[in-house]
Structure 1
C-alpha cells in the first residue's frame, strides 16, 4: 500500500480557500461588449437543492446535464430538475460521465456510478467496497476524469483508478489539486511543485514547469497544436510548449490574475472560457483579447465560478457558488443589456448613415453600427423625453416624440417639424408620392415634401380626432389605422387628403387570424410584424417569436414574456441583415442569415416524453424514459381503471426555455397552443387506442407515445364472446321455447283449422253433393225430359207412320177395288215396306237406350244381374215401363197392338217371378 502524503501548509491554505471561497466579495466588474450571448439562470429555487454546484458534466447518450451539488446529484433533462442522494446523504463534490451512459460521482469516503434501471430512474452502484485503503472514508473525491477504458477518481492526496471492474490506488507525486485531460494526455500539478504527466499509471515530471510551484494551477488547456495554456489562481496565464514555460501578459492574463482564475474551458471554435472567483466568466481568443465578460451586473447569478463544462451544442454551463448558468454562444439572438439604465427602454430603432439610432423613454441615442468594440451611445441634445417613432423618409430622419415631431440632422441637430404633442407613427403614402400620414394622440396629420425636398407638416385631417398608434398602407393602396385601444380602421381619404370619406372598423384579430391561416400558424398571437421580403414575425402570447418566410421556412425563438414592453412591443427591420427586438431592459439583434440554420436545428430537436404516470384511484405507477429508443420500444396496454394519465415531457440539450404543443389523437386532433408547460394530464379516458404527441416547434419533429386502454372485463373481447354465446344461448333457448309454443299453438291452430277445414270440407262436400245431386236431378230431369221427348217423338213418329200406313193401305184397297194400274200398286207396297222399316227401328232403340242409361244409370245391368233369361224385347218393355208409359204408348213404340203389349207384360212378369198382385209398372219404377 502506498504511503499517504501529508498535507503541506500550502495545501491546507488552498483547501481552506476552496471551502470558504463563496464568502469572497465580488471585485469591480468589466464592461459588457455589444453582442452578449444568451444567458439562462437556474437558481436553487429552480433545482430545489443547495447553492453550491462543484462540478458539471453532460451525458452524451441522453443529453441530460448533471451537477455535483452540496445536496446530491442534480439531473436536468432540459425542462425539469431531479435530485439523487448518495447512500449516506453526502455532499457530491465531483461528477463525470462515460460513453456508456454511466454517471460517476465522488464524495466524502464514497465513489461509485449511477445507471438507469428498467424504470428509467438512476440507481447508485457504490465502488467503495473495492478500495482496501482503511483511510479512504476520510478522503473527499474532488475530481473525476474518465478515460477511454478507465475512470480516475482523485482527492487532494490520493488517486484511485477504476479499470476492468477493479479499483487500484495510484500514488500521487504529492498533494495535488486536479487532474486535467488535454486530448489524450493527462496532467496535474503537485502543490509546491511543477506539472506532472500521467503515463502508464505513473506520474512523470514535466520539465520546465518549476516556476508554477509558487501558485496553484486551476486549468490546463490545449494551446495551438502541441502547446498547453495554463491558468493559475493568482499569476494569470502561462504558455507551455516544447519544454519551455512562459508567462503571458495580455488582457485575459491580467484579468485572471486580478480576479483569480478557478476554471478553464477550451471552446470548439478555438476560444477559451475562464471562470473566476471574484468576477464571473470571460471569453477570450487565442491572443488574449477579452471577447465577453459576464458577471452579476451583466446577468450572471454569482461571480464565483466553481465549475465549467461544455455541452454537445457548444454552450457553456457554469456551476456557481449560488446557482447554475447556461451560456449559449451559438444562439442567434444577441443581446444588449443596459445594467446602468443609461438608455432606458427602447421603443423604436433605425439605421441611418451607418449609425444605430435608438428611440427610448429617455430620448434618442446613437452609436456606430456595426462595431467590434464596446458601443458608445450618444444622446441627441434636445431629444430628452419619450420617443415613439424613428422614420427615415428620403434620406431624412424624423422622430415622433411626446413633444411633437422633429428632424434629426446628419450632424446631430434637433429641428422641430410639428409641435403638436404625440407623434406616434409616420409613414409615407405609396399611392400619393410626396405625402406622408402620421398617427398622433389626437388624430391624423399629413406631411408634404416641399420644393427643397424637405418633409414639412401640412395639415390635420378634419373631423377625425381618434388616437392612432400605427399607420400603414397595403398593396392595394388602402390605408389602415391601428387605434390605441379599439382595434383597426380601414379609411378612405378625400382627394385633397383633408377629410375622411369612409371609415370602417374591424377587429385587429380578424386580419391576424386570416394571416395565421394562410401561413398555417397556430396558437395565440400577441402582435404580428411585417419584415423583409414577405417575412412575418409572430409574437406569441407567451413571449416567444416565430419568423415565417413565403417559402415555408419557420424559425422559432423562446423569449421570456416579461422581456417585452406590454402593449408597446416593437420589432424593427434594421436592414436586410438584422431585426432589432425592443425589450424592457435593452434590446436584441436577430441575424436573418441564421434563420435557415435555426429551422434546421429545430427540425433536429425532438422533444422527449420523460414520464407516463398512471393513476388508479389512490394507487399509481410511472414509466420513465431517458432516450427516444426506450420510448419507441414501449407500447403500454393499460387496464380500464387506469384511465387517469399524466404525461411529462422535456427538450434535452435545450438552454432557452422550450415551448411545447401537444395533442391526444383519439380524443382531440387539434394541437394545443405553445406554452412552457411541460406536463399534461388526462382523466377519465374511455377505452380505446390513443397516441399522445408533443412538439417543441410548429414545424419541428413530433414525439409520439401510442397506448391503449383496455375495456373493463365486462367490455373485453372475451366478455363480448361470452355475451355473444350467452345471447346466442338465450336466443336459442327463447327460440326453442318459442318454437315449442309456436309448435303447440300451431298444433292447436292446425287441429282447429283441421276441424274447421273438416267441417268446411264436409259442408262443401254436402254442398257439392247437393249441387251434384241438384245437377244430377236437373240432368235426370233434363234427360228424362229429353228421353220423354225422344220417346214421344218416337211415339208420334210411329203414330204418324201408322196413320200413313193406314192411309196407304186404304189407298191400296181402293186402288185394288177399282183395279187401277198395277204399277201404282207396286209403288204403294214399296212405300208400306219403307214405313214399316222406320217404325221403331233398331237405330231409334239405340238412341233411346243411350239416353235411358244416362237417366237410369246401371238399370239394365242390375236387372240382368238379378234376373236371367231376359230377352232384348223384355228389356225394352222394362225400360218403357220404367218411364211409366201406358200400354197404348208402348204398343206404338213397339209397333204392335195393345194386346201384344199385354202379352209381353205377362211374359215379363213370369220371368221376373212377380206375384199376381204386384204392379209391374211400380216395380220397374222402383227398381
Structure 2
C-alpha cells in the first residue's frame, strides 16, 4: 500500500519527464570547455551548427569550430571579435563583427576562407556599420542587423535600411521578422518595409534580448532587466511565473527553446534556468552546480536537443537529451551505497553518513541533509517491518523523523534480512558475525549474537530461504542453519563450487523469492532432498547473450539488474512475463559504479536511483531511447607533404584525390560530432588494399601512413559512441602516382628504347656475323695450318719418344741382365766359398795312408778345384754388375758427398743391397771388424748421428 501510494502520489508530480527530456530531478551531465581547450577568447556570443553536426562559436578572437575531436579557429581580416553567426543550407557561415560582416566558405581544399560583404558598401556608409548583433536567413535573404542599419544580402548584391533611431535586437519568430527600435517599439519587416506593431512602444524603455513563441498567437519576451512579458498581439503584460521572478533578480541575456516545450533562459548573475511553457522552473544550473561561469551570453539547442552555452568565459555542453541526471558534490553527497524512499523522504547511505531529501519538494536548489549522528560510513538503508534501519559503522540504527531514534547495537553493521517463517525476527550481518533483532510494540530491539560464525567482511552476499542462511564470502559459499532459539548455527557447510562442469561461484541472489547461485551466467538452486545444486535452465537462458555477471539484483518490479566489467545492464520484465535487455543506456555509468555494492532503488519506472562512486544518478526508464542515435564519422582532414585537404569542410564529396609519388606520406584526422561522453568516442579504420582488416577500436583520432606504393587507395573510417552504436563507414579515395621511372610514359619509353635496342642489336649482330664469318674462314685456315704443323711436331716428338722408349727398354733389359748377372755372381761367389771350404778340408786329409793311385787321383781333384777357384772372375764381374745396377744411386751419392771414396761407394752399394756384414767382408775381402770400421767411417762422412739408420738413409737417396 505504501509503495502504491508513492507511485500514484508522485507520478503526477514528475510527469513532466514523460513529455520531454528536461528532468527536474538531479543535474544533467555537464562538460565545460575552457579557453585553453579551444585556444580562443573568453567571451562566446553566438552558436550555430552545420548539417554535419559541427558546432561554430562567435568568439572574441574569431570563429571557433568544434568537430567533436579538435578545435579550429578562423579570424576576421581586422581580427575583430565576432558577435553573431548563422549557417545557411549551402554551408556558408555568415558572421558579423565591429564594422565588418561577411561569410566563410570552404575552397576546393576545404579551407575556410573569409569573403567580406562590407566592401560592397560605399566608404561613406561603411564607416557607420557598428556592431552586427544578429544574423537571420529570411525568404532567401541573409539579414545582418546592427544598431544603426540592417543589411540585406541576396544574389551577391547588398542593400540596407537605416534604423529609424537605434535598433536594439531583431527576432525571427514563426517565419516573421521583427526589429526593436528605441523610439518606435517593435517593427515587423514586410515587403521591404518596417511596420510598427501596435502597442509595442511599451518596450521603448526595455531592452528585449529574446522572443519565444508560446502558441500560434502568443509570445514571451525576455528583457534585460525588466523580466519576462507575454503578448497575445493585443495586450502585453508581465508573465507572473516562477521563471519571471528568477529573471528579475538575475537579469536576462536571452535564451533558446527546446522542442517548443521548454525555454532556456540565460542570465548575467546566476547561470541558466530551464522552465516549461507555464513558467515553472525545471532546472537551475549555475557555477555551484557545474557551470564554469555564471554569466551566460548565449544558449543554443543542437540537433540532438542538447544545450550549448556561450559563457562570459568559456563554453559549456549540457546533455539534456538523456534519461540520466545526477546528484553530486553540489548536493552534499559522496559515494552512494544504498538508497530508499520512506515517509516521503529519499534516504541515501554514503561514505560520509546517511543523508535525506524531501521527496515531494523540488530538487533544483535544495541539497541533501545529513541525519544527525551518522557522520561515518553508512553501508545500507532499508525499510523492514515499516521501520527504517541504517547499517553503518556506528552500528545498527533506527531512523525516525530524520534523526537516530535508537541504536540497536553499537557494532558496525552491513545490512539486515527478515528471517523466513519467523515473523518479526530480523537477522543483521555485523563486523564480527550475525545478530538477531525482533519487532515489538515499542519498536525493534536487539535480541542476541548468533554464535558459531564470525567471518563476515564487507565483501559478502547473504540470502535466506526457508531452510538455510547462505553467505558468499570471497570464493566460498557457506550453508548454515539457525538453531530453533536463533542463538547459534546448528549446521555450517563450506562449498568451494556449485557445479562440477563450471568452477567458481559468481554471485548469490534472490529471484522471485527464491535463492539462486550463479556461476558463468548459469543459475543454480539447492535441493534439500538431493543435497545438491541443480541448474534452472529457464533462468540461465535469460543470460545467454549477456556478458559474464558479477552481481544481480531484482527490483520491486521484477526487473533483473546485473553488473559486469564495472558496467550495468537490465532485463526489463514485460507484462507477459518475458524480458527485454538494455545495456547501451548505462554504458556511460561504466567505471562509476561502486564495486561489490551495486545499488538499485526502483521507486517506479520513472524514478530509479543508482548509486555511484561520486554521487547518485536518477534514471527514467520511460524516456525514449531516441537519445541513443547513430553517430556520424568523418575524415576531417587529409594531409600529405605538399598540401592538406580539410575534407570536413567540403560541401561536395570529391570522388578522388591524385597525389604525386613524392607525397606518399599521408595523414588522416577523424571526427565524430558526438558530444555526449565525447571522451568515450572510438574510431576504427583501414586503408585498402594496404590493410585487410579493421584496426582495433581506439580513441586516437589521427593516423599516418608512410612510404606507400603507387596505386589506388580507399581510406575507410567508422566511429562508435559511448553507447556502443557504430556509425556508417565514411571513406576517401585517393591515387598515388608512380615515380617518373615507374610511370606509364616511362614504361612506354622503356618499351620504345628496348625495341630500338633490339633493332640496333639485331643489325649489329648481322654485321658482326658477316664479319665473323670472314674472319672465321681466315682463322679456320690459320688453325688448319697450325694444326697441321702441330701434328707434324707431335709426330716428330712421338718418334723421339718412341726412340727414347726403345732406349729405355733396352736399358731396362740391360739392367735386368745386370741384376741377373749380379745374382749369378753372388751364386758363383757362394760356390767359390764352398769350393774353398772343400779345398781346406782336402788339405786336412792325411794322404800318407792312401795308395799311390788314390793319392794321384786325390791330387788331381785338388788341383782341378783350385784351378776352378783361381780361374773364376766372378768377383770382378760382380763389382761391375753391381755398379751398373746402382749407377744412378752411386751418381747421386757422389754428387751429394764428393769426398766419398770408391771403397766407401762399394760399401754403400752393398749396404743398400741389404747384405750382411759377413757377406760384405767376403766380397770386400776384409774382416768383419774391418766392415764395422768402414761403416763407422761412412756414417761419419755422411754426417749421421748414432740414432739415425744408415741403410734407411742410403735408401732415401
TM-score by length of 2: 0.61
Contact 1:75 1:83 in 2 (8 A): yes
Alignment of 1:168-187 (within 5 A): 168-187=159-178
The Cα shift of 1:258 comes to 2.7
Q: Which moved more, 1:178-187 or 1:554-563?
A: 554-563
Contact 2:397 2:404 in 1 (8 A): no
Contact 2:667 2:702 in 1 (8 A): no
Q: CA RMSD in A?
A: 4.7
Separation in structure 1 between the aligned mates of residue 708 and residue 506 of structure 2, nearest angstrom: 34
Which residue of structure 2 aligns with residue 104 of structure 1? 94
Cα–Cα, structure 1 residues 429 and 470, in superposed 2: closer, same or farther, change >3 Å? farther
Q: Does 1:80 align with 2:109?
A: no
Separation in structure 2 between the aligned mates of residue 684 and residue 289 of structure 1, nearest angstrom: 63
Separation in structure 1 between the aligned mates of residue 336 and residue 310 of structure 2, nearest angstrom: 33
Contact 1:512 1:528 in 2 (8 A): no
Alignment of 1:446-465 (within 5 A): 447=436, 458-460=448-450, 462=452, 464-465=454-455
Which residue of structure 2 aligns with residue 834 of structure 1? none
Separation in structure 2 between the aligned mates of residue 591 and residue 72 of structure 1, nearest angstrom: 40
Which residue of structure 2 aligns with residue 849 of structure 1? none
Which residue of structure 2 aligns with residue 149 of structure 1? 140
Q: Does 1:208 align with 2:195?
A: no
Which residue of structure 1 aligns with residue 494 of structure 2? 502
Alignment of 1:59-70 (within 5 A): 59=50, 61-70=51-60
The Cα shift of 1:311 comes to 1.9
Q: Does 1:580 align with 2:638?
A: no
Q: Does 1:660 align with 2:681?
A: yes
Q: Secondary structure at the match of 1:556?
A: helix
Q: 1:606 aligns with which of 617, 623, 631?
A: 631
Q: Does 1:625 align with 2:653?
A: no
Residues 17-49 of structure 1 show CA distances to partners (whole Å, capped at 9, x for unaligned) of: xxxxxxxxxxxxxxx964434433222122221
Cα–Cα, structure 1 residues 313 and 74, in superposed 2: closer, same or farther, change >3 Å? same
Separation in structure 2 between the aligned mates of residue 291 and residue 353 of structure 1, nearest angstrom: 24
The Cα shift of 1:489 comes to 3.5
The Cα shift of 1:588 comes to 2.0
Q: Secondary structure at the match of 1:255?
A: helix
The Cα shift of 1:332 comes to 0.9
Separation in structure 1 between the aligned mates of residue 731 and residue 36 of structure 2, nearest angstrom: 35
Contact 1:494 1:501 in 2 (8 A): no
Contact 1:173 1:203 in 2 (8 A): no
Residues 144-192 of structure 1 show CA distances to partners (whole Å, capped at 9, x for unaligned) of: 1111301111221111100122111122222112111111111122125
Contact 1:110 1:137 in 2 (8 A): no
Separation in structure 2 between the aligned mates of residue 663 and residue 431 of structure 1, nearest angstrom: 58
Which residue of structure 2 aligns with residue 555 of structure 1? 584
Q: 1:648 aligns with which of 654, 660, 670?
A: 670
Which residue of structure 1 aligns with residue 188 of structure 2? 197
Separation in structure 2 between the aligned mates of residue 326 and residue 459 of structure 1, nearest angstrom: 54
The Cα shift of 1:456 comes to 5.2
The Cα shift of 1:128 comes to 2.8
Q: Does 1:229 align with 2:220?
A: yes
Which residue of structure 2 aligns with residue 132 of structure 1? 122
Alignment of 1:456-605 (within 5 A): 458-460=448-450, 462=452, 464-465=454-455, 467-473=457-463, 488-493=475-480, 496=483, 497=489, 500-504=492-496, 533-538=558-563, 550-557=579-586, 559=588, 570-583=599-612, 586-594=615-623, 597-598=624-625, 600-602=626-628, 604-605=629-630
Which residue of structure 1 aligns with residue 105 of structure 2? 115
Which residue of structure 2 aligns with residue 348 of structure 1? 338
Residues 851-873 of structure 1 show CA distances to partners (whole Å, capped at 9, x for unaligned) of: xxxxxxxxxxxxxxxxxxxxxxx
Which residue of structure 2 aligns with residue 883 of structure 1? none
Q: Which moved more, 1:239-248 or 1:675-684?
A: 675-684
Separation in structure 2 between the aligned mates of residue 567 and residue 671 of structure 1, nearest angstrom: 34
Q: Secondary structure at the match of 1:625?
A: helix
Cα–Cα, structure 1 residues 427 and 98, in superposed 2: closer, same or farther, change >3 Å? farther
Cα–Cα, structure 1 residues 125 and 316, in superposed 2: closer, same or farther, change >3 Å? same
The Cα shift of 1:65 comes to 1.6
Separation in structure 1 between the aligned mates of residue 152 and residue 587 of structure 2, nearest angstrom: 44
Contact 1:438 1:471 in 2 (8 A): no
Contact 1:181 1:187 in 2 (8 A): yes
The Cα shift of 1:500 comes to 4.4
The Cα shift of 1:321 comes to 0.4
Cα–Cα, structure 1 residues 108 and 406, in superposed 2: closer, same or farther, change >3 Å? same
Cα–Cα, structure 1 residues 424 and 126, in superposed 2: closer, same or farther, change >3 Å? same
Which residue of structure 1 aligns with residue 242 of structure 2? 251
Cα–Cα, structure 1 residues 699 and 160, in superposed 2: closer, same or farther, change >3 Å? same
Residues 671-712 of structure 1 show CA distances to partners (whole Å, capped at 9, x for unaligned) of: 857x76555667899999885443215652333246799999
Separation in structure 2 between the aligned mates of residue 302 and residue 479 of structure 1, nearest angstrom: 55
Q: Secondary structure at the match of 1:258?
A: helix
The Cα shift of 1:434 comes to 8.4
The Cα shift of 1:290 comes to 2.9
Which residue of structure 2 aligns with residue 445 of structure 1? 434
Q: Secondary structure at the match of 2:729?
A: strand
Alignment of 1:740-819 (within 5 A): none
Separation in structure 2 between the aligned mates of residue 426 and residue 628 of structure 1, nearest angstrom: 64
Which residue of structure 1 aligns with residue 377 of structure 2? 386
Cα–Cα, structure 1 residues 287 and 95, in superposed 2: closer, same or farther, change >3 Å? same
Q: Does 1:294 align with 2:285?
A: yes
Q: Does 1:319 align with 2:341?
A: no
Count of residues in correspondence between the two structures: 673
Larger Rg belongs to: 1
Q: Which moved more, 1:66-75 or 1:659-668?
A: 659-668
Cα–Cα, structure 1 residues 529 and 705, in superposed 2: closer, same or farther, change >3 Å? farther
Separation in structure 2 between the aligned mates of residue 100 and residue 445 of structure 1, nearest angstrom: 72
Residues 280-300 of structure 1 show CA distances to partners (whole Å, capped at 9, x for unaligned) of: 212233443333222212222
Q: Which moved more, 1:641-650 or 1:162-171?
A: 641-650
Contact 1:558 1:657 in 2 (8 A): no
The Cα shift of 1:477 comes to 9.9
Residues 810-838 of structure 1 show CA distances to partners (whole Å, capped at 9, x for unaligned) of: xxxxxxxxxxxxxxxxxxxxxxxxxxxxx
Separation in structure 2 between the aligned mates of residue 293 and residue 223 of structure 1, nearest angstrom: 21
Residues 864-896 of structure 1 show CA distances to partners (whole Å, capped at 9, x for unaligned) of: xxxxxxxxxxxxxxxxxxxxxxxxxxxxxxxxx
Q: 1:159 aligns with which of 150, 156, 168?
A: 150
Q: Secondary structure at the match of 1:234?
A: coil
Q: Secondary structure at the match of 2:288?
A: helix
Separation in structure 2 between the aligned mates of residue 651 and residue 538 of structure 1, nearest angstrom: 30
Contact 2:223 2:254 in 1 (8 A): no
Cα–Cα, structure 1 residues 253 and 481, in superposed 2: closer, same or farther, change >3 Å? same
Separation in structure 1 between the aligned mates of residue 619 and residue 139 of structure 2, nearest angstrom: 41
The Cα shift of 1:67 comes to 0.7
TM-score by length of 1: 0.62
Contact 2:102 2:115 in 1 (8 A): yes
Cα–Cα, structure 1 residues 692 and 521, in superposed 2: closer, same or farther, change >3 Å? farther
Q: Which moved more, 1:273-282 or 1:505-514?
A: 505-514
Residues 585-624 of structure 1 show CA distances to partners (whole Å, capped at 9, x for unaligned) of: 5422011223xx22x442x322313336566xx7775563
Separation in structure 2 between the aligned mates of residue 39 and residue 253 of structure 1, nearest angstrom: 25
Contact 2:299 2:307 in 1 (8 A): yes
Separation in structure 2 between the aligned mates of residue 293 and residue 326 of structure 1, nearest angstrom: 15
Separation in structure 2 between the aligned mates of residue 711 and residue 508 of structure 1, nearest angstrom: 58
The Cα shift of 1:236 comes to 1.5
Separation in structure 2 between the aligned mates of residue 107 and residue 677 of structure 1, nearest angstrom: 36
User: Where does the alignment leave 5 or more consecutive residues of structure 2 unmatched?
Assistant: 1-22, 484-488, 498-502, 508-517, 523-539, 573-578, 752-957
Cα–Cα, structure 1 residues 698 and 313, in superposed 2: closer, same or farther, change >3 Å? closer
Which residue of structure 1 aligns with residue 721 of structure 2? 696
